[in-house]
């Protein structure tokens, strides 16, 4: 069995994330991790909050909190939401951890020793009133292109044009509001990516045929345009400090590493955090996953398309330049955008459904299933309340939930609270077993290929097969003339419920657990269902006690739909 190292893009610290962020990284990584664990693989799923950079400092300032306090609180708030979504991280760390400081500084020293970091003088905005240089987002002003008066020094949110702080009209400090700004010379560290271009090209060429088209095309586009030397330090109060033993002058000036230099290193650091947080008596080996990892370690990253360049080009360049055997990604699963009625979800503009709000409305499994079944894999996909409501009602409430409820309720009413005995499998059961085995193989194939929409379609087909069998056999009619035949039909259907409980777990873990608890099976520790079990459908024998669970999925009404649209906006022009 392979050892699977899985990471998802680090959610930024400033604010609860929206559904687009969830489906573009963390949720599919969780679904895949759960599946692999069920199939017996050794899995390590690592994620963390990305806590450095200008937005964190500005968000802390807005709330009147020290930035370290703000980040600690925001980390806990995000983790609570991810727990609510049943994301089964092995560790959810923080990029402000001592482990990340240690490893980031180590990487910087090694790059410097190998000739891939250079100190350069640049001209930068300085605020005498604040007594400091201002990174791009610390400068605000009027956009020279559209006249928006709250444009930032890196980009105008109104017209989306990329800017330089010196482009702004009437610039002011985002800290103090002072307009007394100067342009002064200062020194920063640059990563000489241009010297690593050829090595990165060779590395990408060895992997891009296996990667999805989206990831491979973005990496190739960046390489075709050429890698440029990139500043990797900033003048901020919060970040990984430049090590004084290597750059004493810059360290004395308080320079810290740029967030996009230290954030990918946090994948490694968070794994060390996981090892360092092991319970007493347990030893965890983090280095075997990352440093001189053997051929059994398979590393898969999940991210939205805007993160692809950093993970397929920039971070590999850093790892190559270190000249040490750090594990590099094998497979990059990239996603397009999930839109909200055709428009962007926006953290800053509070547009769309955010993950904490989603959990306030409905349990996590409603969202998990819908998002993965409509994951933006081949192109952008649009979230609408109409589509969400229809999917929940058809797939979850009718196809799965109603099947479970009517089988168990009818059997309890006519045969009591044990799986009924009687009847011998016939042609209908043989056909059903073959169909279930075939659909299960399709489901497994799509999960292995990380094709989540197709996997969801195969899972839905498994659920539908049970309904078709039930309609064909009609035990509510069968019992009038053939009680043993009805018992066989219901027993077979109950075995389907148990199968659904096992194989649906990556998508809907809470509901799967509820279905599994229906049957009082001694020593039921099976992690997966074999093809032989799928054909036989006899894992739940006659005489097994069972209970009828509460409704698994409540149908959403027109009133629910209207309420959701009123709260969050439903039409494109209001999104």
- Binding residues, as ranges, are 143, 146, 156, 159, 347
**How many helices (DSSP H) and strands (DSSP E) are in the chain?**
23, 17
- Residue 368 tokens read as 């998990």
Secondary structure letter of residue 550 according to DSSP = S
Q: Is 14 helix (H, G, I), strand (E, B) or coil?
A: coil
> CA-CA distance, 67 to 422, in Å (whole number)?
68
Residue carrying the six token digits 């895949």: 32
Burial class (CB in 10 A: 0-12, 13-18, 19+), 457: middle
- Which is it for strands 3-8 and 297-304: parallel, antiparallel or unpaired? parallel
- Residues annotated in a binding site for Zn(2+): 143, 146, 156, 159
What are 411's two structure tokens?
């059997």
Phi, psi at 183, each rounded to 5°: -110, 115
Q: Would you state the torsion angle of the CA atoms of residues 470, 471, 473, 479, taken in this order, to the nearest 10 degrees? A: 90
What is the rounded distance in angstroms from the CA atom of residue 482 to the CA atom of residue 474? 11
Contact 262, 80 (CB under 8 A): no
The whole-angstrom distance between residue 24's C-alpha and the CA centroid of its chain comes to: 6
Dump the DSSP string for 259-271. Answer: HHHHHHHHHHHHH
Three-state SS for 144-205 is: CCCCCCCEECCECCCCCCECCHHHCEEEEECCCCCCCCEEEEEEEEEECHHHHHHHHHHHHH
Q: What angle do CA 141, 147, 153 make, to 5 degrees?
A: 30
Q: Which residues are annotated as a binding site for ATP?
A: 347
Contact 105, 240 (CB under 8 A): yes
With a CB cutoff of 8 Å and minimum separation 6, the contacts of 206 are: none
Rg (Cα) of the chain, in Å, rounded? 27
Please tell me the distance from the alpha carbon of residue 312 to that of residue 203, in angstroms, as a whole number.
Answer: 9
**SS3 of 547, please?**
coil
What's the rounded Cα separation, in Å, for the pair 272 and 283?
12
Helix, strand, or coil (residue 253): coil
Chain centre to alpha carbon of residue 246: 36
* Distance of alpha carbon 207 from the chain centroid: 22
Q: Would you call 538 helix, strand, or coil by DSSP?
A: coil
Q: For residue 57, give the nearest of 72, 67, 49, 69 by alpha carbon.
A: 67
**Is residue 46 within 8 Å of 5, Cβ to Cβ?**
yes
């Amino acid at each position: 069995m392979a050892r699977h190292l899985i990471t998802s893009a680090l959610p930024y610290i400033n604010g609860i994330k929206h559904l687009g962020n969830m489906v573009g990284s963390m949720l599919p990584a969780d679904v895949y991790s759960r599946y692999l664990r069920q199939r017996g693989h050794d899995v390590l799923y690592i994620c963390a909050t990305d806590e450095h950079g200008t937005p964190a400092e500005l968000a802390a300032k807005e709330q009147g909190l020290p930035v370290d306090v703000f980040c600690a609180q925001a980390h806990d708030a995000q983790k609570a939401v991810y727990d609510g979504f049943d994301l089964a991280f092995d560790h959810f760390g923080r990029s402000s951890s001592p482990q990340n400081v240690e490893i980031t500084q180590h990487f910087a020293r090694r790059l410097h020793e190998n000739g891939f970091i250079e100190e350069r003088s640049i001209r930068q905005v300085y605020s005498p009133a604040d007594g400091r240089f201002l990174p791009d987002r610390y400068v605000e002003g009027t956009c020279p292109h559209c006249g928006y008066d709250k444009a930032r020094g890196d980009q105008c949110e109104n017209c989306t044009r990329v800017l330089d702080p010196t482009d702004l009209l009437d610039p002011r400090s985002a800290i103090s509001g002072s307009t007394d700004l100067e342009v002064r010379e200062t020194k920063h560290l640059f990563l000489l990516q241009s010297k690593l271009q050829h090595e990165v090209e060779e590395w990408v060429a060895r992997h891009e045929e296996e990667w999805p088209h989206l990831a491979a095309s973005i990496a190739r586009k960046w390489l075709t345009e050429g890698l440029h030397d990139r500043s990797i330090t900033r003048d901020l109060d919060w970040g990984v400090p430049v090590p004084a033993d290597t750059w004493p002058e810059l360290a004395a000036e308080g320079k810290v590493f740029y967030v996009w230099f230290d954030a990918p290193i946090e994948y490694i650091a968070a794994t060390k955090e996981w090892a360092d947080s092991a319970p007493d008596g347990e030893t965890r080996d983090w280095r075997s996953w990352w440093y001189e990892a053997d051929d059994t370690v398979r590393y898969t990253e999940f991210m939205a398309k805007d993160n692809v360049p950093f993970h397929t080009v920039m971070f590999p360049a850093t790892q190559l330049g270190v000249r040490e055997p750090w594990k590099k990604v094998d497979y990059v699963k990239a996603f397009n955008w999930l839109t909200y009625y055709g428009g962007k979800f926006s953290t800053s503009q509070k547009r769309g459904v955010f993950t904490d709000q989603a959990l306030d409305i409905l349990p996590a499994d409603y969202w998990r299933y819908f998002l993965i079944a409509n994951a933006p894999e081949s192109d952008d996909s649009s979230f609408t309340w109409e589509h969400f409501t229809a999917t929940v009602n058809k797939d979850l409430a009718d196809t799965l939930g109603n099947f479970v409820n009517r089988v168990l309720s009818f059997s309890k009413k006519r045969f009591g609270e044990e799986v009924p005995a009687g009847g011998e499998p016939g042609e209908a059961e043989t056909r059903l077993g073959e169909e279930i085995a075939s659909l299960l193989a399709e489901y497994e194939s799509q999960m292995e290929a990380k094709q989540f929409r197709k996997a969801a379609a195969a899972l839905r087909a498994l659920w539908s097969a049970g309904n078709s069998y039930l309609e064909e056999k009609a035990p509510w009619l069968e019992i009038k003339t053939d009680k043993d035949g009805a018992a066989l039909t219901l027993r077979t259907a109950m075995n389907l419920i148990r199968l659904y409980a096992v194989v649906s777990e990556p998508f809907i873990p809470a509901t799967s657990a509820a279905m599994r608890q229906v049957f009082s099976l001694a020593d039921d520790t099976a992690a997966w269902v074999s093809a032989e079990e799928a054909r036989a459908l006899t894992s739940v024998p006659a005489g097994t006690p069972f209970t009828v669970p509460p409704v698994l999925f409540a149908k959403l009404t027109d009133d629910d739909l209207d309420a959701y649209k009123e709260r969050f906006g439903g039409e494109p022009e209001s999104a």
